[in-house]
Amino acid sequence: MSLNHKINGNNLNNEEKVKILGITLDSKLTLGRMVDELKECCNSRLNIIKYLSNRKWDLKPKALERIIAKIFLKMKLLKLKVELKEEENEAGK
């Protein structure tokens, strides 16, 4: 379906997907692609944790604990971002 919209005489292009403030939306306003990206990001961080936990490092337990805590904090922030966007989408319906 092709829609022709203009703002101040400028044509707006139809896009299959768009990324706004780090959130990827497709033409049906689903979060499928963003969830996939989030999953890839979490898996990447999980692999780092797995690698670090199976290695013998000269790190003190507190140092490793801080590294892992920062990784999990990033994952929690990404999850919160998704939840907030889902709430915004539900409120807009």
pLDDT digits (tens, 9 = 90+) for 17-42: 777 777 777 777 777 777 888 888 88
Segments forming the whole domain that contains residue 68: 30-92
Q: Place 3 in a pLDDT band, splitting at 50, 70 and 90.
A: low
Q: Place 5 in a pLDDT band, splitting at 50, 70 and 90.
A: confident
Average pLDDT over residues 48-62: 74
CB hemisphere CA count around 63 (13 angstroms): 5
Whose CA is closest to 81, among 29, 28, 38? 38
Residue 4 belongs to a domain:
no
Report the C-alpha gap between 52 and 72 in whole angstroms: 14
Residue 50 belongs to a domain:
yes
Q: Please state the domain count of the chain.
A: 1
Residue 6 belongs to a domain:
no
pLDDT at site 91: 79
pTM of the predicted structure, to 2 decimals = 0.38
